Chains A and B, each alone.
Chain A
Amino acid sequence: MSLDSWAEAEHEPATPSAPRVEPAAPASTAADGPPPSPAVHTVELAKRYRRTVALRSLSMTVARGEVFGFLGPNGAGKTTTVKLLLGLARPSGGEALVLGAPAGDVETRRRIGYLPELFRFQHWLTAREVLQLHARLLELARRDRRADEALALVGLADRADDKVATFSKGMQQRLGLAVALVGEPELVVLDEPTSALDPVGRHEVRAIVRRLRERGTTVFLNTHLLEEAEQVCDRVTVIDHGRAIATGTLDELLGARASVRLRVTGLPDGWWRAYGALGTWTAEGDWLRMAGAAAGAVPELVAQIVRTGGSVEAVVPEHQTLEDRFLELLGAR
């Protein structure tokens, strides 16, 4: 499949076993021009390091303006994918487009911000000098001002003139985030952006990601912190062993497998067996638990119970967390 056919490709599942892929709508569409290309589009992207297969066949689409979570256990191929998208590594197979250009295109990098997993900067420079260097490499106007704005955004304004060597790991990660954001890129790739941060720092990073979304910036969030993805991502792809095993919005991934606890009186014992097709039923004392209910099934079930003379005393929806779903997906691979 060629990259020219990305529009068709995005309606196909990432893998035969993955849930249906529905790309999010682009954040903005020019009234008199073609719709913008996706922020990221890959077709059967693969990477092999000698005998080790780091990425098997990754097909995915990240729409403009969305916060996209790229999830997977350690060694799943997340960082390899990021390196391929940024041109730091070359694919062994497949193709990738980033902001409409082949991955690694030098000019396109001007519109991309990147926080590496291994965030290291010239420790003999001050924080401001690091930002000024990147502003210069981006050939930005008003470089000093842009550098200071980025430092202020990540809470490092008061340490701007301190050497990076004096920074804690968390402060270096904040600096890395500032480097990724200087120049207001269209696409921000964050590789494990909160791995070195305390809870306050993580909260601040999530707030920054939300602000980026409000501004229309696409965020590619590479993380294994599921709580983080659950809080900020519009859509996620879960990869394992170098292959996408699920893609969709959080509702699609979690909502489709909702379970509900019911307390019903006025019906004969075992009444629920007539509704076995709706989900998996388990009796828990006075309560019944129905797992794997399809969306919209519960209101219909409650109506049926009432119609047949039962009294519904309690309906308690049980939300599956992303972690539950993640473990379920990995266990089912």
Chain B
Amino acid sequence: MSQTATIALLTMREALRRKLIAAFLGITIALVVLSAWGFDRLSHSRSLSSGEVAVSVPQALILFMFMFSFVVALSASTISSPAISAEIESGVLQSVATRPVRRAQILLGKWFGLAAVLAAYAAAVCALELVVVDVVSGFTPPDPAGAFGYLLAEGLVLLTVGLLLSTRLSALATGVVAVALFGAAWLAGVVGAIGADLHLASLREVDSVARYILPTDGLWHGVIYALEPRTILANAIGHATPFYASGPPSWTYLLWCAVWVVAALAVALLVFERREL
């Protein structure tokens, strides 16, 4: 087994043993149960017409998925923030780094291990929520697999940010900065939506630039698009809100996201290689 795989398995085992997954799954199940109650009330409301229900359920689902995307982002930064610096400070990493293992293998092993954990969590979140909504309200989004893919990609971007920051900053500082960046990117998306509604080019530009600097919000809009029924799109319902996407991310944008992750990992490796343990 390659050294990278050994480190990846160790990282996954750590997430399981330290009950990180269990904690996030516990919160998720509680939220899904809460959402089941909400969707049941919404879809069986006597005060809403069937047309209003058909619009409200997908929008409520997008809102819930936004909350889950925040949980995914939080979990990505939480699991990645102690990955390097905290292990250097505690001395755990020194005993591994003096083995015949390259630092690139340590870093990539951690990334793959954390990415697998995140993928399992994102899959569980999507499966639970979408099945619950389908059972309770009968709504199935047009592209569930796409929603999962974009949600995971968003998490992977933030995971990479966390890993990059953790090569220099403490676990606490990494977690705070990563979540703040996620929030700032989302806010830029909101500003862009307002700019689009008010036809203010400068505000739209904020979103356009921010999506390239940190592509979490751009990918989140991919999740939205995958969950939107095409009737909502056809009528542009909610187009002035941050919970509306007029189209999926382009292939060039997705390619940029991939390049972004690879470049951030390369910088992380450069910093980690130069760091003295």
Contact = CB atoms under 8 A, between A and B. Distances in A.
Contacts of A124: 14, 17-18
Nearest to A139: B100
Nearest to A191: B94
A1 interface: no
A292 to B, nearest CB: 43
Contacts of A118: 91, 94
Interface stretch (A12-20, A86-94, A228-236): A86-94
Given A107-B100, A120-B90, A90 B276 contact: yes
Given A89-B276, A116-B94, A124-B17, A109 B99 contact: yes
B263 interface: no
The 4 closest A-B pairs by CB, nearest first: A118-B91, A120-B91, A137-B99, A124-B17
Contact of B98 (A86, A133, A139): A86
B1 A136 contact: yes
Contacts of A122: 10, 14, 92
B100 A114 contact: no
Question: Which of A83, A136, A179 has the most chain B CB atoms inside 10 A of its CB?
Answer: A136
Given A88-B276, A137-B96, 14 more contacts: A83-B276, A88-B94, A88-B97, A112-B98, A116-B94, A118-B94, A120-B90, A122-B14, A124-B17, A124-B18, A134-B95, A136-B1, A137-B99, A138-B100
A180 to B, nearest CB: 9
B101 interface: yes
A133 B91 CA distance: 16
Contacts, number: 64
Interface residues of B, number: 22
Interface in B93-145: 94-102
Interface string B1-42: 101001000100110011000000000000000000000000
B277 interface: yes
A87 B91 contact: no
B48 to A, nearest CB: 50
A114 B95 contact: yes
Interface string A123-161: 011000000011011110000000000000000000000
A109 B98 contact: yes
A121 interface: yes
A119 interface: yes
B92 A120 contact: yes
Nearest to A183: B99
Contacts of A179: 95
Interface in B177-226: none
A312 interface: no
B105 to A, nearest CB: 9
A65 interface: no
Contact of A134 (B1, B18, B99, B277): B99
Given A109-B99, A118-B94, A120-B90, A137 B276 contact: no
Size class of the A contact interface (CB-based, 8 Å): 20 to 34
A96 to B, nearest CB: 15
Question: Which of B13, B17, B99 has the most chain A CB atoms inside 10 A of its CB?
Answer: B99
A90 B98 CA distance: 14
Nearest to A84: B276
B3 A137 contact: yes
Contacts of A301: none
Contacts of B276: 83, 88-90
B100 A133 contact: no
Contacts of A134: 95, 99
Contacts of B97: 88
Contacts of A120: 90-92, 95
A134 B96 CA distance: 8
B101 A106 contact: yes
Nearest to A108: B100
Question: Which of A90, A110, A139 has the most chain B CB atoms inside 10 A of its CB?
Answer: A139
Contacts of A248: none
Nearest to B96: A137
26 contacts: A87-B98, A88-B97, A88-B98, A88-B277, A89-B277, A106-B100, A106-B102, A109-B98, A109-B99, A110-B100, A112-B98, A114-B95, A114-B98, A122-B14, A122-B92, A124-B14, A124-B18, A125-B13, A134-B99, A136-B1, A137-B100, A138-B99, A138-B100, A139-B100, A176-B95, A179-B95
Contacts of A110: 99-100
A118 B97 CA distance: 14
B6 to A, nearest CB: 5
A87 B100 CA distance: 11
A109 B94 CA distance: 13
A281 to B, nearest CB: 53
Contacts of B1: 136
Contacts of A138: 99-100
A83 B10 CA distance: 24
A176 B92 CA distance: 11
